[in-house]
Amino acid sequence: MRSKWMRVAQSAFAILVIVFASIAISKRWDMIRGRVVTLNVDWLRLIEASLLVFVAYAVLIETWRRVLAAWDTQLPWWTAARIWFAASLGKYIPGNLWSLAALGVMARETGASPVAAAGSSIIVNVFNLVSGLVLVLIFASRLVPHAAVFAVVAVVSIGGVLAAPLWLPALIRLACKVTKRDIPLPVIPAKTVWWSLAGTAFAWCAYGVAFRLFAVAILGNNAVHGGVVLYIAAYTAAYIVGFITLIAPAGIGVREAGIWEGLPLLGLTTYGDAVIVAVISRLWLTVLEVIPGLVALAAGHFRPPTRSE
């Protein structure tokens, strides 16, 4: 019964996304069409942006390995990368939780504990959400009407990060309930918590810089306004909204709407250019995720992990 209602909800959501996107694009179709025919891709900038995305991937993989070590399991870096890339394909299945299942299955094939793999992945996602929200609150401070309010937000955000080892267990238990996984959690050292928050924050910054480079590569330097921190905030906010919308596979539709609404709101591009960037960036990032994932699946076998005593 639940799966039936889930399919109905997914179908209804897909229809809403199509209707919303069609209305948004049709209102400015003349502007978008005229802009598309004048696009001239800067391939060097596009390559630079793509390399930065892979830097973010590498940092996130290392973050996962460090959290996984709390379960007394060590994976060689390339083995962890293969598992991470292959499992990430699961996000394209509605629910955004299939990647956890895939992670557990592939970890079992290496001899690692699937519970440890899934649990550490949940924790990294929690770190991702927390560090991303903090960056959005700080970097998009221009949207906060009063300096005093921003100061309070900044102090609370930074204090929350420093106190992460204290509130993390409760937040992880909540995440386990949301993902419907009963996972015994080990004691995670404070230095691992802080390193992981720093690592995920670095990854968000790398994504944001790459996103601005991508916008410049597609639209041209004269059409892209604002500093890098605003692009980090815009991309991070759109990605988080897409991620927590579990019904949308890989946040499709939701993330794009966040981008084409967020960029003009922050004064970074025109609305028409924002729609173009949102749509083409989805294709770009999908290629950068899917191709490594397919290569990882094709690799077939993973070396077994070593367990510390």
Identity of residue 10: Q
In angstroms, the Cα distances linking 8 to 92, 97, 179, 263 are 18, 18, 20, 32
Listed in sequence order, the residues at least 6 apart from 56 whose beta carbon sits closer than 8 Å to its beta carbon are 202, 203, 204, 206, 207, 210
Higher-pLDDT residue of 286, 27 = 286
138-186: per-residue pLDDT in tens? 887 665 555 555 555 556 656 655 565 565 666 666 656 665 666 666 6
Binning pLDDT at 50, 70 and 90, where does residue 200 land? very high
* pLDDT for the residue 163: 60
pTM attached to this predicted model: 0.79
* pLDDT for the residue 62: 92
DSSP for 58-78, please give it. HHHHHHHHHHHGGGT-B--HH
* pLDDT for the residue 247: 63
Listed in sequence order, the DSSP H helices in 185-227 are 190-219
Contacts of range 31-34, beta carbons closer than 8 Å, 24 or more positions apart: 31/270, 31/271, 31/272, 32/272, 32/275, 32/276
DSSP for 95-164, please give it. TS-HHHHHHHHHHHHHTS-HHHHHHHHHHHHHHHHHHHHHHHHHHTGGGSS-HHHHHHHHHHHHHHHHTH
Higher-pLDDT residue of 34, 218 = 218
Q: Is 155 exposed, middle or buried (0-12, 13-18, 19+ CB in 10 A)?
A: exposed
Binning pLDDT at 50, 70 and 90, where does residue 215 land? very high
SS3 170: helix
158-167: per-residue pLDDT in tens? 665 556 556 5
Out of 122-126, 220-224, 274-278, pick the least confident.
Answer: 122-126
Listed in sequence order, the residues at least 6 apart from 241 whose beta carbon sits closer than 8 Å to its beta carbon are 251, 254, 255, 258
Higher-pLDDT residue of 152, 208 = 208
* pLDDT for the residue 306: 45
Out of 38-47, 97-106, 128-137, 215-224, pick the least confident.
Answer: 97-106
* pLDDT for the residue 95: 52
